[in-house]
Structure 1
């Protein structure tokens, strides 16, 4: 088989012959002594040379493309744009994972992977950070809670103390610190997020592939956060993550004759240190019931802002079976190191699955910073 260099030489020779034959035809076409049969023969010779040239060029172009691909193997991008480099690196990581191939070192380094040299399958920092931020399926707690990505996180429950007094005016907080300690230690709880990738997406552009995968993973992570925080029947080991946990968290319940009065009472029951930054997390349907009761046929209240009605900012989520009132900065999500990315395939549909396994924890740092607004049973 000829080398690509030999094919280049053949192309140059055939190209010259085609051009020479074309010039000859143009010259003879104006000569009355040349018959039409002679011109037809020369034209046929030119077409034959052109056909040979096309065959050699096709083989040359194919070998050249294969050579470029071979030379660029392991190089995930040629772009000079830093953002595009990251997108291309993510796309390479996804495709290599789906193909069950090793992810090149330069790709890992571009994504901030510190553990590449150890041969581990840790999720690179850039991918991890993007997955746990800006989800599409919303977890409303993200707007008000603390989100960190720190291994073995341990923090104080109270951020400052004074040396000349008891420093905690709220007796419930003081009792809680005495009973549970003054620090919060975050543990590791594993969960998996799956995203299906069709063959067309996998074979598509890097930007489309990365945006599709990240969109789905972000949504899955946010849905998990919301689920554990508002679980009325938490899984074993996840009880402490829920605002409704009566065993570990034990948030105080404040009752009222109706939901409106119980929310007002819950706000008033908070110590002023928490009341100032308090917000209300509740179902939109519950809010509409409150408005319907208060309006009594008038349309005025329907146009008012929820904060004007209830006295504190309101965040709606259907996950809040019982309204939660409090300072949500004491709600803290932390993601630990050691996320894994894996590949699987749904044999029924043939869709490839990109799987992320992560470890996280949700801690309600001070139960005394919250209240549950409940309605008295008739």
Structure 2
């Protein structure tokens, strides 16, 4: 049974942790406490166990319980503070924006006001910022209010096929472990490729800030139109731009300088290529080549054209295969992405997009068309936490 490492000491939770981090710590220590309790019960009924062993196990249980209680207290206090803050924000929203009672309509009106003020070079009203959850402590002006930021960046996007499969977060200076758990030694890693990768790259992944801009063209007619039409137009444009950027960097065959680490196909990530005489064979071999820890949750990312070719060859006049689900044909769930020039097989929980908080918004004008642009500058990163969790299926014709 694998043991999860505990936090080194309780002092690491000194009031600066997020509610999420405290929840994670509680879960980790809770699991270990449950395990130790089971071991203590087993020793207590084992006649061969010495009283010293039982006392040592009892001491371990008491230490873990003390850790758990301290962290739980901090979690409960922070949770109560956040609930009170949210309640205050809700009360502030109710009292602003002309007395609009419908929370959804109030958000729409606040977003529309933000866009119009930005496009006309006016300051954003405080009641608008409050309704959109902006952090007044940041100094105002340039920071994209949280509600707009989350709707644009964290909302599921149909145009990026990786959304819903890869992890997506919005955390400043994010660092994550390459593996979701570790042990007190490295011998547990049965997949030697993973062990070598951890040794070469380290056991943590640090996300960087990579700047990009998204432009939403807004005509005067749209600006002066209804709130719903204005907000829908701008947000759809921004979401499409964000999705297009994510997809572009993740599947870039020749990544831009500084973006090499973001692509599945880059030499920097060096994902292992598995050869086959045709696409179907290459994919099946790639699945088999994955270590079982990754194979269980593996998915296949491939173009629809490649899948159609597979069906054409396998069907051989049998119409029933055309109606079969891709997973029935290939053995794993399939995600279609035309940008996937070669099929990628792997556990997408090791693909992670992160947006660094600090997006800015401004206006620009397209001189050629006369259309005003609502511009968002965002910072994001895509990291493949473990290349060992993926394989690229490559067709190599044998002589």
Q: CA 1:161–1:119 in structure 2 vs 1: closer, same or farther (change >3 Å)?
A: closer
**Structure whose alpha-carbon radius of gyration is higher:** 1
Shift of 1:135: 5.3
TM-score for the superposition, normalised by structure 2: 0.74
Shift of 1:159: 1.2
Q: Which residue of 2 aligns with 1:191?
A: 212
- 5+ residue gaps, structure 2: 1-95
Is the CA contact 2:113–2:128 (under 8 Å) kept in the aligned structure 1? yes
**Structure 2: distance between partners of 1:334 and 1:360:** 5
Q: Does structure 1 residue 268 correspond to structure 2 residue 312?
A: no
Is the CA contact 1:188–1:336 (under 8 Å) kept in the aligned structure 2? yes
Shift of 1:223: 0.8
Q: Which residue of 1 aligns with 2:373?
A: 353
Q: Does structure 1 residue 203 correspond to structure 2 residue 224?
A: yes
Shift of 1:111: 1.0
**Structure 2: distance between partners of 1:128 and 1:272:** 38
Show CA shifts across 1:202-222 (max 9, x none). 111111111111111011101
1:143 is paired with a residue whose SS is: coil
Show CA shifts across 1:117-143 (max 9, x none). 624401011100000133555111112
Q: Does structure 1 residue 181 correspond to structure 2 residue 202?
A: yes
Show CA shifts across 1:250-271 (max 9, x none). 1000000111000000000000
Q: CA 1:169–1:79 in structure 2 vs 1: closer, same or farther (change >3 Å)?
A: same
1:325 is paired with a residue whose SS is: strand
Match among 310, 317, 325 for residue 297 of structure 1: 317
Q: Does structure 1 residue 147 correspond to structure 2 residue 168?
A: yes
Shift of 1:292: 0.7
Q: CA RMSD in A?
A: 1.6
Q: Does structure 1 residue 228 correspond to structure 2 residue 239?
A: no
**Structure 1: distance between partners of 2:156 and 2:124:** 26
Is the CA contact 1:341–1:357 (under 8 Å) kept in the aligned structure 2? yes
1:92 is paired with a residue whose SS is: helix
Q: Does structure 1 residue 363 correspond to structure 2 residue 383?
A: yes
Q: CA 1:204–1:97 in structure 2 vs 1: closer, same or farther (change >3 Å)?
A: same
Is the CA contact 1:137–1:223 (under 8 Å) kept in the aligned structure 2? no
2:111 is paired with a residue whose SS is: helix
Show CA shifts across 1:123-167 (max 9, x none). 011100000133555111112000000000001011112337722
Is the CA contact 1:135–1:219 (under 8 Å) kept in the aligned structure 2? no
- 5+ residue gaps, structure 1: 1-74
2:335 is paired with a residue whose SS is: strand
Q: Which residue of 1 aligns with 2:123?
A: 102
Show CA shifts across 1:8-58 (max 9, x none). xxxxxxxxxxxxxxxxxxxxxxxxxxxxxxxxxxxxxxxxxxxxxxxxxxx
Instruction: Give the length in aligned residue pairs.
Output: 304
Is the CA contact 2:156–2:164 (under 8 Å) kept in the aligned structure 1? no
Is the CA contact 2:123–2:141 (under 8 Å) kept in the aligned structure 1? no
Q: Does structure 1 residue 86 correspond to structure 2 residue 102?
A: no
**Structure 1: distance between partners of 2:137 and 2:128:** 10
**Structure 2: distance between partners of 1:105 and 1:344:** 23
Q: Which residue of 1 aligns with 2:135?
A: 114
Q: CA 1:361–1:147 in structure 2 vs 1: closer, same or farther (change >3 Å)?
A: same
**Structure 2: distance between partners of 1:259 and 1:150:** 38
Is the CA contact 2:286–2:392 (under 8 Å) kept in the aligned structure 1? yes
Q: CA 1:359–1:221 in structure 2 vs 1: closer, same or farther (change >3 Å)?
A: same
2:225 is paired with a residue whose SS is: coil
Structure 1 range deviating more: 197-206 or 110-119: 110-119
Q: Which residue of 2 aligns with 1:30?
A: none
Q: CA 1:165–1:97 in structure 2 vs 1: closer, same or farther (change >3 Å)?
A: closer
**Structure 2: distance between partners of 1:188 and 1:173:** 26
Shift of 1:348: 2.5
Q: Which residue of 1 aligns with 2:355?
A: 335
